[in-house]
Amino acid sequence: MIGCGAIGPVVASDDRRYKLRVASSGSSGTDRPVWVQGMYQKVRLPRSVLRWLAAAALIAISSAAAARQPHYYRFGVLPLQSPTMLAGMFLPLTDALQQALHRPVQFVTAPNFAAFMRRVRRREYDIIYLNPLLYTRARRWGYHVIVKVAGEPFAGILVVRRDSPIRALGGETLSPGLRIGFPDPNAYAATIMTRQYMEARGIHVNRDLKVKYFGSQDSALMAVYYGMVNMAGTWMPSLRSMPQRVQQALRVIAQTPPQPQMPIAVRDDMPAREAGRIRNLLTHLTMTSSGRAVLRHLGFKRGFVVAHNNEYDGVKP
């Protein structure tokens, strides 16, 4: 997991913790490139993200004594992408939550979807961001939705390389043994919805295709980019988060029908006033320059809107 709070930014797998190592690769000066080493891969982060990391570290130092007390919130984010990618996306939002709540907030993730959901079941997180299907399970364990991502529909997409001969999706257009990549078996849009979409069109995924799981959305996309698989399931925010050279090298060939958008939920023992502050912050991010900066890191152009539990009643695997 990655945390921000009493311990500062860290990367860990299960109970092992590793400091994020920040190194400069060049001589002194303001233009030197800076890298953050993560659990799965080395990712070059923009300087704006590094400023957020620095701010998070300063907040961690100033709030260390308070965070050692049990009065801080844990913000659990489903491991849709690699830890360093998620850090770049969610640390600015974590900082905004700390300012709105006037208490430390620790950003954490998990090595995979299964580990994340075990922690949700044990109620280890106070705030969670996860997919619609997994949210229906989290409801059983005492979480309720407060907002969802606004704007574009929640849909899975299938992508190929731009130079791929695959132009359309159909049993007659896909060669036997074609290799397809997914992030995780429980990824709702990227795996479950895209598999259902293909099955409905006569493509028997397990029988006709060679399936490989890569653990995260960006890993599945990079597998297509490097030719390890012919096609991958993902969703648009992950595709948009990739470097420009990767986006330009890939092409969307299909999109599934939409489902309710990704929710943010809170644990049922959170005071209503605190949950209200979180809801108010998230639904007003589009109205300030600092809020819009947070949304740019997340890749959610239209921010968040209020959501209710009954919107997810029809979500099925």
pLDDT category of residue 163 using cuts at 50, 70 and 90 = very high
The pLDDT value recorded for residue 169 is: 81
What whole-number distance in Å separates Cα of residue 128 and Cα of residue 117? 10
pTM above 0.75, yes or no: no
Check pLDDT > 50 for residue 9. Answer: no
The pLDDT value recorded for residue 152 is: 82
Instruction: Give the model confidence (pLDDT) of 101-116 as tens digits.
Output: 999 999 999 999 999 9
What whole-number distance in Å separates Cα of residue 16 and Cα of residue 39? 11
What whole-number distance in Å separates Cα of residue 98 and Cα of residue 127? 12
The pLDDT value recorded for residue 36 is: 33
CA distances from 99 to 61, 90, 96, 159, 199 (A): 15, 14, 5, 39, 47
Instruction: Give the model confidence (pLDDT) of 127-145 as tens digits.
Output: 999 999 999 999 999 999 9
- Report the alpha-carbon angle 188-3-129, nearest 5: 25
Three-class SS of 215-254: CCHHHHHHHHHCCCCCEEEECHHHHHHCCHHHHHHEEEEE
Check pLDDT > 90 for residue 59. Answer: no
pLDDT higher for 52 or 39?
52
Instruction: Give the model confidence (pLDDT) of 75-109 as tens digits.
Output: 999 998 889 989 999 999 999 999 999 999 999 99
Instruction: Give the model confidence (pLDDT) of 174-229 as tens digits.
Output: 787 899 999 999 999 999 999 999 999 989 999 989 999 999 999 999 999 999 99
What whole-number distance in Å separates Cα of residue 26 and Cα of residue 28? 7
Tokens of 110: 């998990």
Domains of the chain plus CATH, in order, are 2-151+261-312 (3.40.190.10), 157-255 (3.40.190.10)
Check pLDDT > 50 for residue 33. Answer: no
The pLDDT value recorded for residue 82 is: 87
21: nearest Cα among 41, 36, 5: 36
Check pLDDT > 60 for residue 60. Answer: no
Phi (first) and psi of residue 254, to 5 degrees: -160, 150
Check pLDDT > 60 for residue 305. Answer: yes
Give the chain as a DSSP string. Answer: -EE-STT-SEEEETTEEEEPEEEE-SSSSTT--EEEE-SS-EEEPPHHHHHHHHHHHHHHHHTHHHHTSS--EEEEE--SS-HHHHHHHHHHHHHHHHHHHTS-EEEE--SSHHHHHHHHHTT--SEEE--HHHHHHHHHTTEEEEEEE-SS-B--EEEEETT-S--S-STTTS-TT-EEEES-TT-IIIIIIHHHHHHHTT--HHHHSEEEE-SSHHHHHHHHHTTSSSEEEE-HHHHHHS-HHHHHHEEEEEEPPPBPPPEEEEETTS-HHHHHHHHHHHHTGGGSHHHHHHHHHHT-TT-EEE--GGGGTT---
The pLDDT value recorded for residue 301 is: 85
Contact, 147 vs 196, CB < 8 A?
A: no
126: exposed, middle or buried (Cβ count in 10 Å: 0-12, 13-18, 19+) = buried
Check pLDDT > 50 for residue 27. Answer: no
Instruction: Give the model confidence (pLDDT) of 259-300 as tens digits.
Output: 999 999 999 999 999 999 999 999 999 999 999 999 999 988
Check pLDDT > 70 for residue 164. Answer: yes
pLDDT higher for 34 or 274?
274
Check pLDDT > 80 for residue 38. Answer: no
The pLDDT value recorded for residue 49 is: 59
pLDDT category of residue 56 using cuts at 50, 70 and 90 = low
Check pLDDT > 60 for residue 67. Answer: no
Taking the CA atoms of residue 199, residue 203, residue 209 and residue 215 in that order, the dihedral angle to the nearest 10 degrees is -30
Given the structure tokens 């050692």, which residue do they identify? Answer: 68
